[in-house]
Amino acid sequence: MQYVNLIVNQENIVDTSALIAFFVRSETHHQTAQQCFGVT
């Protein structure tokens, strides 16, 4: 779960935001995004 590591490390905000946006926009991973990123 490399994307989770990016969130925890907070080293690259741009990549983190891009990954969050990707998961949020993905219908398949929408629920995964909610669980990993706490998206409401």
pLDDT at 27 (0 to 100): 61
Print the domain residue range for 11: 2-37
pTM: 0.33
Tokens of 36: 């990993």
Burial class (CB in 10 A: 0-12, 13-18, 19+), 7: middle
Across the range 7-18, mean pLDDT stands at 66
Per-residue confidence (pLDDT) for residue 20, from 0 to 100: 78
| Residue whose tokens read 């935001």 | 17
Tally of domains within the chain: 1
* 38 pLDDT tier (thresholds 50, 70, 90): low
Average pLDDT value over all residues in the chain: 66
Place 26 in a pLDDT band, splitting at 50, 70 and 90. confident
